[in-house]
Structure 1
Amino acid sequence: MKLRWTTAAWSIIYLLLLLSLQTPFSIVTAFLLVLPVAILFTALNTQSFILHIAPVWLIALLIHPIFLLFAVYFAIPGVVMGYLYRKRKAAMQVLKFGVATMLVELLLLLMISTAFFQMDLSAYVDEIVKMTTAPLTEIGVEGNFGGQLVGPEIDTQLIKDRTLQLVPFAMIISSFLMTVITHSLARPTLNSMGLSVPKLKPAREWMLPRSLIWYYLIIFFINIATVNSDNAFMKTIVANATPLLQICFMIQALGFFYYLAHIRKWHPILPLLTAIPIVLFPPAIIIGILDLAFPLRQAFSKNKR
């Protein structure tokens, strides 16, 4: 009985989250829309799952067809993650498939919007950039963007080109964040419902593929080779791959500090605090690179003994 009431409550939450997309809170609630579907698909069999979401989709359709499109769009990654939770797959595998599904959906959405609805991404970005920079231009704000100074007469073309160049990066990061948020909230929720879901390895055990170092070196040399080039394709690869790899090394560095805190018996808050300088001081990623390239953890373990 408790599970029945809980799943019914999540159906209502699902509907409220869908309706919130037409409110100013959509920038937050959009990241939560996969969660109810993942929970419902994990907790229920397929038939009961359909019975729970069908009324939500019907109400969404009656209010406005756009809500139904949103519901279907966000339901797909939720079903994928819920299916993997049912099979008790490792948490990392759930995250990988969740990110991949959302990324594919974003790419398909972009392709369909461009091919069938004549959406001009460049014109859309141009409009957003002009709307964002208009107040700054009026008050004469000066600053730095992409390594170039922008003064009272803000170079909107520069900002537009840079924004378009980073669209792939934004798509990957948004897919990653949505998946991580969903898993972070779904796991304790499902556990409270009596459904065991595998958790991620402790941060001290995080080890990313060593091949990332080679990718970083390749991107580094491509960047040097194309610094004075007009090859837009290669520059786009560098612009998107560089921050992604840097984020990976930040995560690796954080894992290293958690490992160090574990073997040195430090207070748990200390490795968490190291995230601040790692994020604010980009050269700190060298710690993550060294942790991947050399057996730093084994060296500290031996020193402790």
Structure 2
Amino acid sequence: MKFRLATVAWSVIYLLLLLSLLTPLRIFTVFLLIVPGVVLFSSLPFKGFLIHVIPVLLIIALQDVYLLLPAIYFLIPALLMGRVYKKGAPAFQALMTGTGVILAELLVVLLIATYTFGFDLSQYLRDQAAISANLVQQILNGNPMLPGMNWTAEDTQRLGTMMIGKVPYVLILTSFLLAVITHALTRPALSSLDVPVRKMKPAREWRLPRALIWYYLLAIVFEWVAMSSDSSWVQAVSVSMLPLIHACFIIQTIGFIYFWTHSRNMSPVIAVLLSLVVLVFQPLRIIGIIDLAFPLREAITRSKK
């Protein structure tokens, strides 16, 4: 009975979070919307999950039918992350699954906006850069302490280019942040429902699939194709794929650093400092590529023996 009441409570929480999208609180609650779905899917059989979720969706549809769109949007990563937890897979796999699914959904939304509504992300960002440039120029003109300073058209163009270049990192960071928040809240919630969830592996055990090398080569080919394409969606996918894979290589590099320092009995502080260097000087991700392609860790282990 306690278990049933707890899952009903999570259904109510899910309903309240969805209704909060109609209020200014959505700025904060949007980051929590995946959590109830993961908890319910992981702790219930599929039929029980439907019994809990369908009434929530019906109430939402009666309140505002358009709320079904974000409900379904956040339910998809919830189902896939919940499936990982149900299988007893490593927490890192759940985190990467959530990040990948959310990123894919963002790209699909961008695709629909581009080809259905004629939305051009690049032009939108350039327009925002122009608006920001006008505000900066007004500030400069109204400040007697800054005589003769002007914001030029070249400055506006550079700002627009910079904003476009940051799109993939914003998409990846948003996806990763949502997945991290979901995992951080889901694990204690499932533990309270007596559903075992594996902890994150120590950083020294972080190892990504070797197939990532082939994905990297595929992303490079896709980038070549995108260069000759006029589609803003194709370009957005292209500029998002490589940074995502680069982020994976950085994770692999950090895992190798922790493995190496641990095998040499070094202080964890050294591993943290070296990891910060990798985050700042990102070309060092080449270490992660080598670690994936060749048995570096095995070689270190053999040399120590």
Question: In which range does the TM-score fall when normalised by the shorter chain?
Answer: 0.7 to 0.9
Please state how far the C-alpha of 1:177 moved relative to its aligned partner: 3.9
Residue 60 (1) aligns with residue 70 (2): no
Residue 275 (1) aligns with residue 271 (2): no
Cα separation, 2, equivalents of 1:110 and 1:160: 19
Q: Return closer, same or farther for 1:96/1:293 CA change in 2, 3 Å cut-off.
A: closer
Paired residues, number: 292
* Counterpart in the other structure of 2:4: 4
Asked if the contact 2:90–2:201 (Cα under 8 Å) also holds between the matched residues in 1, the reply is no
Residue 37 (1) aligns with residue 25 (2): no
Amino acid at match of 1:105: E
Please state how far the C-alpha of 1:251 moved relative to its aligned partner: 0.9
* Counterpart in the other structure of 2:151: 152
Amino acid at match of 1:32: L
Q: Return closer, same or farther for 1:96/1:220 CA change in 2, 3 Å cut-off.
A: closer
Structure 1 gap segments, 5+ residues each: 142-150
Please state how far the C-alpha of 1:121 moved relative to its aligned partner: 3.6
Q: Return closer, same or farther for 1:245/1:16 CA change in 2, 3 Å cut-off.
A: same
Residues 258-267 or 31-40, more deviating: 258-267
Asked if the contact 2:133–2:151 (Cα under 8 Å) also holds between the matched residues in 1, the reply is no
Structure-1-length-normalised TM-score: 0.72
* Counterpart in the other structure of 2:208: 208
Please state how far the C-alpha of 1:40 moved relative to its aligned partner: 0.8
Residues 179-188 or 40-49, more deviating: 179-188
Asked if the contact 1:253–1:291 (Cα under 8 Å) also holds between the matched residues in 2, the reply is yes
For 1:262-285, what per-residue CA distance to the aligned partner results, in whole angstroms no more than 9, with x for missing partners?
A: 323445454334332221233433
For 1:135-194, what per-residue CA distance to the aligned partner results, in whole angstroms no more than 9, with x for missing partners?
A: 4343459xxxxxxxxx72254444445545665564455334433442343233212321
Residues 260-269 or 244-253, more deviating: 260-269
Cα separation, 2, equivalents of 1:75 and 1:218: 29
Please state how far the C-alpha of 1:195 moved relative to its aligned partner: 0.7
Structure-2-length-normalised TM-score: 0.72
Task: Indicate the SS of the match to 1:274.
Answer: helix
Asked if the contact 1:204–1:259 (Cα under 8 Å) also holds between the matched residues in 2, the reply is yes
Asked if the contact 1:166–1:239 (Cα under 8 Å) also holds between the matched residues in 2, the reply is no
Asked if the contact 1:165–1:236 (Cα under 8 Å) also holds between the matched residues in 2, the reply is no
* Counterpart in the other structure of 2:79: 79
Structure 2 gap segments, 5+ residues each: 142-149
* Counterpart in the other structure of 2:250: 250
* Counterpart in the other structure of 2:178: 178
* Counterpart in the other structure of 1:144: none
Task: Indicate the SS of the match to 1:178.
Answer: helix
Cα separation, 2, equivalents of 1:117 and 1:235: 17
Cα separation, 2, equivalents of 1:108 and 1:200: 29
1:1-305 correspondence runs (5 A): 1-21=1-21, 26-91=26-91, 94-95=94-95, 97-140=97-140, 152-153=151-152, 155-161=155-161, 163-164=163-164, 167=167, 170-209=170-209, 231=228, 239-292=239-292, 295-305=295-305
Residues 269-278 or 159-168, more deviating: 159-168
Amino acid at match of 2:4: R
Task: Indicate the SS of the match to 1:105.
Answer: helix
Q: Return closer, same or farther for 1:37/1:274 CA change in 2, 3 Å cut-off.
A: same
Q: Return closer, same or farther for 1:304/1:137 CA change in 2, 3 Å cut-off.
A: farther
* Counterpart in the other structure of 2:144: none
* Counterpart in the other structure of 1:148: none
Cα separation, 2, equivalents of 1:270 and 1:40: 41
Asked if the contact 2:31–2:178 (Cα under 8 Å) also holds between the matched residues in 1, the reply is yes
Cα separation, 1, equivalents of 2:184 and 2:253: 21
Task: Indicate the SS of the match to 1:3.
Answer: helix
Task: Indicate the SS of the match to 2:197.
Answer: coil
Please state how far the C-alpha of 1:63 moved relative to its aligned partner: 4.1
Cα separation, 1, equivalents of 2:219 and 2:119: 31
